[in-house]
Structure 1
Amino acid sequence: MEVFAGYGILAILIIGGVAGWLAGLVVRGYGLGVLGNIVVGILGAVIGAWLLAQLGIFVGPGVLGQIIGATIGAIVLLLIIGLFRRA
């Protein structure tokens, strides 16, 4: 599983930041700031790549596909975090 194969560190940070920000918009109540969004987005990319591969779903090539997959994974991550915060 090569989540960010061929991307430089700056591109990874930008994709992670955008994905984390989008996930924060979808899952209300999770304002994590710039650094938090980047971390959630990068972790979300790993989760999203694994989850979508398990489901046999391909979201598309290039940066847009990376952002979509990372956002899906980041949403899942934020929902899981929300379950533990409530407990």
Structure 2
Amino acid sequence: MGILAWIIFGLLAGIVAKWIMPGNDPGGWIITILLGIAGAFVGGFVGSQLGFAAGGPFGFNWPSFGLAILGSLIILAVYRLINNRRIA
């Protein structure tokens, strides 16, 4: 995938993850894009450990999108866990 495709993919995955797990998280569009891209890496790692194959036309398929969302949710959960411990 090209850089623009990664940005769009990350934005969509980050938006869906923030929609599934709403909260008072900092960051706008840039943080959402970075969350989705990082989530794609985390989800891809989890998927490869579980034996899922990634790929498809133009590098996009629904299982890889689902894994990117899963990775984004994991990152959000870890962020909130760390952030809540700092406040308390």
Q: What range is the shorter-chain TM-score in?
A: 0.7 to 0.9
Map 1:1-87 → 2, pairs under 5 A: 7-29=1-23, 30=25, 32-58=27-53, 61=56, 62-65=59-62, 66-87=64-85
* 1:53 to 1:82, Cα distance in 2 relative to 1, 3 A: same
Unaligned runs of 5+ in 1: 1-6
Over the aligned positions, Cα root-mean-square deviation in angstroms equals 1.9
TM-score by length of 1: 0.81
What TM-score, normalized by structure 2, do the two folds share?
0.80
Percentage of matched positions with identical amino acids: 32
* Bigger-Rg structure (1/2): 2
Distance 1:60 1:31 in 2: 32
In the alignment, the residues of structure 2 paired with residue 80 and residue 49 of structure 1 have an alpha-carbon distance, to the nearest angstrom, of: 17
Give the residue type in structure 1 aligned to 2:60: V
Which sections of structure 2, spanning at least 5 residues, go unmatched? none
Structure 2 contact 39–75 (Cα < 8 Å) conserved: yes
